[in-house]
Structure 1
Amino acid sequence: MIKVLIVEDELPARKKLKKYIESYPQPITIVDELETVEEVLEFFTTATDVDLIFSDIELRDGNVFEAYKKLAIQIPIIFITAYNQFWMHAFETSGIEYLLKPYSFERFEKAVGKYASLKSSMAVDNNNSVLQKLEAFLATKEEKVSKNYQEFIAVKTSQYTYFLKIEEIVYFQADYGIVVAYDAHTKKHVLNQSSLKVIEDMVNPSVFFKINRSELLNRNYIEKISRYTKNIVAINIQNSETVLKTSQNKTAEFNSWLGV
């Protein structure tokens, strides 16, 4: 029996996770369901009888890492989030797996299987508990983890959250702290991220290039490029009248990135 704690502030996400838990071949008991950083801090002042935590990162009242670092949590955590940029922080805590929303049951099953495998392979004795050995494993995890680029980006509205496929985004644009994405149908999506730097950490640099201070372009939607001025390149987008331009200090690097 695995005793788990769920930390998730979105009801649909909790329902999906609980459905996966019920479908898992081994028995899993849900100890509690928390929605805020404050509730996490309060929970661990009295209760610690938890084997595994399923945790979102951005909660209603802040980032859950605030709580885990303050508590010096040693319970293994499977992070489930829509944001790729926190993956390094996850493995700096007790994270053993990082699932990006939306995720499949197969990914969930594999993540829980990793916990079960780690637990069964670590003998418990007076000097070295399972959690202590998990901590030793996690100390080397950060060095071994490879960069995984995000496949989807979450877009939150006042009523719901939907997901854009990164591969279908033509370009990102930032203006006065507002970041938007334009998809292949020229539809504009206002994102929750505050800068292009955050977006750059989420996407594959072999696919996306920051052509100037405010625009990050997907190479798969470039129809043609042409000289705009001596040091600036004009970029025509497929099936669109949109023309983007490189900045003078990015042109040479952009041409090299394209291999021209």
Structure 2
Amino acid sequence: MIKVVIIEDEAPARKKLKNYLERIAEPIEIIKEIETVDETQSFFETSPNVDLIFSDIELRDGNVFDVYRQINIEFPIIFATAYDQFWMNAFETSGIEYLLKPYSYSRFEKAWNKYISLKTKMEVNHNDIFKKLDVYYQNKLEIKPEYKEYIPIKSNSDIYFLKVEDITFIQSDYGVVFAYDSANKKHLLNQTTLKEIEEILNPTKFFKINRSELVNRDYIEKINRYTKNSVAIFIKSHILKTSQNNTASFNAWMGL
């Protein structure tokens, strides 16, 4: 019986992964489903008996690597995320595969087969294996995600297409998501969560500055310190603010 832990804060993503797991031949037991960074840390501090971890990266309360840097995770991890910029971090830990959302069953099956192959050949010295995997992926891994250039938007009478390059920032408010364009026009999007939008946008162009807002780098006019741990971002006639948790990563993303 292969004991699996799922770290994922989106219910549809967990459901999809569990459906995929049900389709494979090996007997599996999902021993834990985790949605937050805090819960991840608490769980692994108990030294659980785990065979494989499926892990998202950006959870509702932060980045899961905050845990993996503090706790030595000896179990193999298959990462499943909408962000391509973390793959180096993944293979510096116990990562053996990197699934870029939205991924197909065939892509999932390839990752699973890699785990099974490693499982049968695994030696006592796990660290040596992971170092070899790290070197392999640094040399061979090529991730070429395709991001949307247009977002379809339904109005009362028709459907029109908003150019992603014209979006200045995106804002979520209680399940309603709006995009503001370069003419400062507000568009009601069909998506209901910010994470759904993040998955189709290029992370080199768009950054989540807090729990409810994404900004387009191309339209940032200036940045001022707002508080000790946050900054104010000026876009058109709007002033947006980073959260304390996101300020440092935003500054790094901007190259500050």
CA pair 43-199 structure 1, distance change in 2 beyond 3 A: same
The number of aligned residues is: 181
Partners of 1:181 and 1:83 in 2: CA distance: 23
Which of 130, 143, 167 does residue 135 from structure 1 map onto? 130
Rg larger for: 1
Partners of 2:147 and 2:2 in 1: CA distance: 30
CA pair 84-197 structure 1, distance change in 2 beyond 3 A: closer
Partners of 1:86 and 1:197 in 2: CA distance: 11
Shift of 1:85: 2.1
Deviations 1:23-57 (A, max 9, x none): 11111211111111111110011133111100011
The AA in structure 2 aligned to 1:172 is: E
- Structure 2: stretches of 5+ with no match in the other structure: 149-160, 172-178, 182-186, 208-216, 221-256
**Counterpart contact for 1:80–1:100, Cα < 8 Å:** yes
**Counterpart contact for 2:52–2:76, Cα < 8 Å:** yes
Aligned 1:88-167 pairs, distance under 5 A: 88-122=88-122, 124=123, 128-129=124-125, 131-152=126-147
CA pair 188-173 structure 1, distance change in 2 beyond 3 A: farther
**Counterpart contact for 1:94–1:135, Cα < 8 Å:** yes
Matched residue, 2:11: 11
**Counterpart contact for 1:173–1:196, Cα < 8 Å:** no
Matched residue, 2:205: 199
How big is the alpha-carbon RMSD for the aligned residues of Structure 1 and Structure 2? 3.4
**Counterpart contact for 1:54–1:77, Cα < 8 Å:** yes
TM-score (norm 2): 0.60
Shift of 1:65: 0.7
CA pair 145-92 structure 1, distance change in 2 beyond 3 A: farther
Matching of residue 35 in structure 1 with residue 38 in structure 2: no
Partners of 1:93 and 1:82 in 2: CA distance: 18
CA pair 74-144 structure 1, distance change in 2 beyond 3 A: farther
SS in 2 for 1:84: coil
Shift of 1:22: 1.0
**Counterpart contact for 1:174–1:196, Cα < 8 Å:** no
Aligned 1:167-246 pairs, distance under 5 A: 171-173=164-166, 175=168, 192=198, 198-199=204-205, 213-214=218-219
Matched residue, 1:23: 23
Shift of 1:80: 0.7
**Counterpart contact for 1:36–1:60, Cα < 8 Å:** yes
Partners of 1:104 and 1:181 in 2: CA distance: 31
Matched residue, 2:83: 83
Matched residue, 2:250: none
Shift of 1:143: 2.4
Shift of 1:136: 2.9
- Structure 1: stretches of 5+ with no match in the other structure: 154-167, 202-211, 216-260
**Counterpart contact for 1:94–1:138, Cα < 8 Å:** no
Shift of 1:177: 9.3
SS in 1 for 2:48: coil
